[in-house]
Each structure stands twice: as structure tokens, then as C-alpha cells.
Amino acid sequence: MHSVLLGVVRQFLTIWTDSSNSRKPYYIKDTSLVDQLLKLIRVPDEINRLPRSLEDRKFWKATEFRSFLLIYSPVILMEVLPKKFYTHWLLLCNAIRLLFQDTVTAVMVTTSRKCLYKFVTLIPELYGCEHVSYNVHILTHLPDAVLNWGPLWSHSFKYFSAWNKLHNYTALLVHSHESVVDMFCMLSASSKSSWHGADSRTFAGLRKSSTTISEFQLAAVKDFLQLDCSSCITCQSFDRFLIKHKVFSTDGYASNFRRNNSFVLLRNGCFAFIKSCVAVSSCNCEVVECACSKQILLFVMCCTSTRAESLRDSYVGIDLKQFVRQLTPNDQAMIVVRADDVVCKCVTVQDLNSRSYALQLTQFL
């Protein structure tokens, strides 16, 4: 948080926008263009704070600098910074993104180390030696921290100290109440939710849709479930719902808000907008709210996507824009998928030429 987000990211935003650098090649003359693009971004609930203007950056929290680094800047700065400065910035974006994944492999650590080394060593040439700050130097130690303690999101000095002290109290648990033992186990270990199937443990409807399911949707559901056309089924539509304990919504519901929980990545690799969520039951119960298992299906509009224009770095050995996917306009198809086909939420970001790009969320929680 302090070395990267409140340190290096804030430092470079200041360098790019400070009027004292107005004659420098990296100076952003018109920050209003960046602000316009930031205001167009509709983020999911996992990003706590909505994008704010660069003029308000002195009030930005660490999470806002994180979102700018990992999600917004790879697209927004594409046509704003000169290419060599933009490419240099992508080295930091890739390095931190790799170390911020749910699972970080040895190869990812090695790649991140190369990105950080090149990012730091190029600063004197591009920006001047005066900008090689202590926070910049600390960047080179982040890969070792991940090797020792896990992904960046999973540890900090404060929480490590607290976790370490917990083990000093293990002996006191012998005669402790069961609730105390449970709390100790919860604090000293992490647990992650897992998918158990489309039932009440992994799906919950939060807001019923006011629109009824159409004949087209009903036919599509029966075809997807391989049911006979004469089969009797009941369907309930939802505008907002939980999948794997995360909030999702339909695209129509999300259009009313600055937040968007409807744009997702599917297991088949497609990006898609959720158009409808339907709970399907084929039971013969006469109970109004029966407890029989239901099939949870999503009508999604799939988008064709391609990799953004490549920026391959021979030293690092990767395409620095590998995590940025460009969406093809007016090339979409409606399909039916199961709820467990959703991999994660994503964000759409536009560049200065009004081209839309999709970026997958990293580990934010």
C-alpha cells in the first residue's frame, strides 16, 4: 500500500500532471480528457470506490490508486502518454498484476522481477535520477516478499504481526470456550468459498424481476436443458442475485447505476453481459416456495474480443498488453449458460478513440 500505491503510483501521477513539468515530454497537458474517461467507467462492487477526477487525486485512497494502476491506466493512458513512457508504465502494471493474483507461480515471480528491474533502471533515463525514490527502490524487493509470504493482497506488516502474535496464545485455548476456539481458528487461517452446485448454498435471488420470461426464453431454456417442448417447467427471473457469495445483476438493472455487476468472463473464454437470470424448476410441488432444487441459468450477450495491439518486451519475454482485450462493436450473440460458467466479473474501459476494452479483475478482496 505505502511503497506502491501511495508511493510510486501517486508519485508518477504527480510527475505527469505537475505544471512544473510542462516542458517535459511525459507531461499530460489536458487532464480533462483523462477525467472524462474515468467518469465513463462503471465498476463492480469489488472496487470499493468509484473513479474520481485526477484533480481530486490528493484525496484518493490507496484502493483508488490500485484501481488506476491495475484496471484504468493500461487503457486510459494508451493514447495519452507517449509510447516509450506508456510502455515503461506497463512494466509496473504487469509486475504488480502478476504478484496480485489469487495464485502466484515461480514463473510469474520471475517475470515480475524482470518487469520491476527494467522499470526501475529506466527511470533515470526517462524521468531523471531525482525520481528514483526510496519507494521506487523497494519495488525490487516485492518478488522476494511474495516468495516468502504469498501474493501481495494476502499480507502486510500489520497483519503479519497480528497473525504472528496469535500463536503465542495457543496454549490458552486448552480451557477456552468453543466460541473462542472457533474465533481463533478463523483469525489464524483463511477459508475460501467453493462451488457446490446450483443450490441455496451458492445462489440466492436478491431482487425478482418485474418482467415475465418470454416465449423465446422459455423455448431456449427447454432446448438448453434438453427437455421436450411439452415439458412443464416454472421459471422465476431475478435482476440481482448472488453467485458464489458475490453480487451480480442484469445489464438492464445495472444501467440505472454507476456500478455494473453484469459484465463477466465465462468459462469458455468469452466476455459477456448478463441479460437475464432465471431459476428453473421442473418439480410438481404445489407449495408456493418449494425447496426443490432449481437450475440457475443465465441469458448472456457474448462479445467478440481480440488482444489489444501487441507491445512485446524481449527482455521480460511477454506482451505487456496481454491482459487487455479489445471488444469488437456490434458483434454479439445471445446464449444460455449455467451460473457456474461465470469465472469472474470484469470491467470495460474506453480509450480516447472510443474503443472499448475488457479487463479481468485481479484479487481485490
Residue 214 per-residue DSSP state: P
Closest by alpha carbon to 48, among 348, 357, 192, 259?
A: 259
Q: Are 91 and 119 in contact (CB under 8 A)?
A: yes
Is 94 within the bounds of a domain?
yes
Domain count of the fold of the chain: 3
Residues 263 and 221 occupy one common structural domain: yes
List b or e across 242-266, with b for residues whose CB sees 16 or more CB atoms inside 10 angstroms.
ebbebbbbbbebbeeeeebbbbbbb
Residues 97 and 167 occupy one common structural domain: no
* Residue corresponding to grid cell 475488457: 358
Is 21 within the bounds of a domain?
yes
Question: What gap in Å lies between CA 111 and CA 31, rounded to an integer?
Answer: 32
Residues 147 and 162 occupy one common structural domain: no
Is 318 within the bounds of a domain?
yes
Residues 332 and 227 occupy one common structural domain: yes
Domain range for residue 176? 157-188
Is 23 within the bounds of a domain?
yes
pTM of the model: 0.81
Closest by alpha carbon to 234, among 278, 188, 274?
A: 278
pLDDT of res. 284: 61
Is 195 within the bounds of a domain?
no
Residues 173 and 252 occupy one common structural domain: no
Residues 281 and 163 occupy one common structural domain: no
pLDDT of res. 190: 42
Residues 209 and 339 occupy one common structural domain: yes
Residues 51 and 132 occupy one common structural domain: yes
Is 193 within the bounds of a domain?
no
Residues 30 and 135 occupy one common structural domain: yes
Residues 209 and 352 occupy one common structural domain: yes
Is 61 within the bounds of a domain?
yes
pLDDT per residue rounded down to tens, the chain (365 residues)? 888 888 999 999 999 999 999 999 999 999 999 999 999 999 999 998 999 999 899 899 999 999 999 999 999 999 999 999 999 999 999 999 999 888 889 999 999 999 999 999 999 999 999 999 899 999 999 999 888 888 887 776 665 566 566 666 665 666 677 777 677 666 655 433 333 334 445 788 888 888 888 888 888 888 888 877 777 778 888 999 998 888 999 999 998 899 999 999 999 999 999 999 998 887 666 555 555 668 899 999 999 899 888 999 999 999 999 999 999 877 778 899 999 999 999 999 999 999 999 999 876 54
Residues 240 and 269 occupy one common structural domain: yes
Is 198 within the bounds of a domain?
no
Residues 52 and 149 occupy one common structural domain: yes
Residue 129 per-residue DSSP state: G
pLDDT of res. 174: 60
